[in-house]
Structure 1
């Protein structure tokens, strides 16, 4: 499905996005321009349309090596303060154009130091870019950053401290990302314990490429408030779709505690967590009343947007406006900003936007 196939009504819906990677959502034309400006000569194509197709084809290839290569190119052109500021601004503007009214966009500051920047300069440049983008979008969107530490590296506590230091300047929380297998979240326990002492918010990528042990550690050892993806929680549910369905202790805990699942359907297909949109467990988990949210993950690599994700789900599962509103309010309830701010966006923007369509 192309962006041109999306119904205008879905594009206009107010949306909330909790799981989106800054380095996974660049405009192809921007990559080409930044590569030329900063002397990055490793791009596989220098025409923006060709480059966009290359990113999607590489992500769809089934090859983890090619998929990871895509991020080498986006991060490769994000090594200066001006590039980071531009990419962040365009991110906010693109999301606003897609009807997103609140977004938490994550990135790993440690991946943007090759050009001599400091961690602080990286964060300040991205924050400035988000503010630029909000202003350019006419105040139709609020964007907050999540600072990500890489699971295979040793900077997690330093990045967590950075998240706390900048939490009053547009940083809403912390995350860890990277290969789950072999790099459990407990490797970064010091960072999570620090954040808990400092009343900081954090989510953890868990239950995407690896199964229940990753989810269990993220929640019970590390104290994750949300699960990045979390799709493998279905492995703890027996008799799927049948009467008498039984939740295991972990699945029941996740549901009972209302721990949000940051689900990214199109991305999950690319990583093998589901075979098709129709086979994705998101509706099964919705029917069981887990706190499910819909997200994009990497808009460039998946060739997607929030409107496209919602359209794909609506077509596959027959979702109504009420269903899409349910996902959206779930996400807003789960955001890492203050309760009053969340409630205001729900009551002043999300509910009126859906009410107008449902009427």
Structure 2
């Protein structure tokens, strides 16, 4: 009989992460160090253990806006090339220790220029950290440059994505509070990216509902949806039989990837609990669902822990975890040959070995 996956064995599984924020996964010890070295004096505490607890407690408000406030401290200490390179290197190291073989980590260059760095210097510092971390720890990391949806710099950031796409930037993203800031405000950037054959994802369907998802796909042409949790609003279940609305059916038919982050979705109020998370029904209906961490510090989580929670809530086995992982690798923004190589030579054999015990 196949043994049920445990947190310990899941950590050994080759995993793929598509939705992880660089400024949402900084080590508390590093935050304290960087604050001291950079003269940042606004931390609520300089004890790393207490700081970790503070981030976790501040992130459990059920409000996306309140959740986003915690980033003022991580971003505040990431304002030099040296700090950005260090955080990126440590991110690669932490992800590799969790068994992740490929990751796409996103960050907003415009948030790291308050002490004079140019957008290009920010991007180059982050790329340097991931390149070194990848070499030292055996993980492939691609970056997504993110524009803030309440600002007006999306075209600049889109141009960065294209300029550095042969050096490690694999795509573009917009993030920030959804309500009042529809993705269509950045239509010129998305049209530019499409003309340049560049990849992009859009945060949609987390803090706002179906209109956000519809705009992201039908107006902006998103390759993937960041979260996309509210697609569940277009699915009705009567007498145990699910019925998909036109938007939900389109998302499933087109195999549009959903970058779901279970723990984070609960913290921001997009889902009530792991057991009630839409991921359960969406998995049953074979949507292109992927599992992600979003912000490892704020959510106090790892990708292995996200998988373990789903195993406990839905009784998933190794085949389910492999399915999520292959979905993620298929949906990555790197080339087809590299994706296929990782699926056939790393992911499938790795899960088969764990399944056999």
Same fold (TM over 0.5): yes
Match of 2:179 in 1: 181
Match of 2:341 in 1: 344
Match of 1:124 in 2: 124
What RMSD, in angstroms, separates the aligned Cα atoms of the two structures? 1.2
TM-superposed deviation, 1:132: 1.2
Match of 2:77 in 1: 77
TM-score, normalised to structure 1, is: 0.96
Match of 1:3 in 2: none
Distance 2:120 2:302 in 1: 30
Answering whether residue 163 of structure 2 is matched by residue 165 of structure 1, we say yes
The 5 Å alignment of 1:264-279 reads 264-279=261-276
Task: Tell me, yes or no, if the aligned pair for 1:241 and 1:284 is still in contact at 8 Å.
Answer: no
* Offset from partner CA, 1:226-260 (integer Å, 9 cap, x none): 000000001011126712x2111100000000000
TM-superposed deviation, 1:189: 0.2
Match of 1:257 in 2: 254
Distance 1:104 1:22 in 2: 10
Match of 2:111 in 1: 111
Match of 1:33 in 2: 33
Task: Tell me, yes or no, if the aligned pair for 2:22 and 2:91 is still in contact at 8 Å.
Answer: yes
TM-score, normalised to structure 2, is: 0.97
Task: Tell me, yes or no, if the aligned pair for 2:67 and 2:268 is still in contact at 8 Å.
Answer: no
After TM superposition, the structure 1 stretch with the greater mean CA deviation from structure 2, 327-336 or 54-63, is: 54-63
Task: Tell me, yes or no, if the aligned pair for 1:112 and 1:122 is still in contact at 8 Å.
Answer: yes
Task: Tell me, yes or no, if the aligned pair for 1:263 and 1:295 is still in contact at 8 Å.
Answer: yes
Count of paired positions: 352
CA distance 1:204–1:75, change in 2 (3 Å): same
- Secondary structure of the 2:273 match is coil
- Secondary structure of the 1:239 match is strand
Task: Tell me, yes or no, if the aligned pair for 2:32 and 2:46 is still in contact at 8 Å.
Answer: yes
Answering whether residue 284 of structure 2 is matched by residue 287 of structure 1, we say yes
Distance 1:175 1:351 in 2: 29
Distance 1:336 1:63 in 2: 30
Task: Tell me, yes or no, if the aligned pair for 1:20 and 1:295 is still in contact at 8 Å.
Answer: yes
Match of 1:199 in 2: 197
Distance 2:257 2:238 in 1: 20
CA distance 1:358–1:33, change in 2 (3 Å): same
* Offset from partner CA, 1:110-149 (integer Å, 9 cap, x none): 0000010000000000000001111221x2x100000000
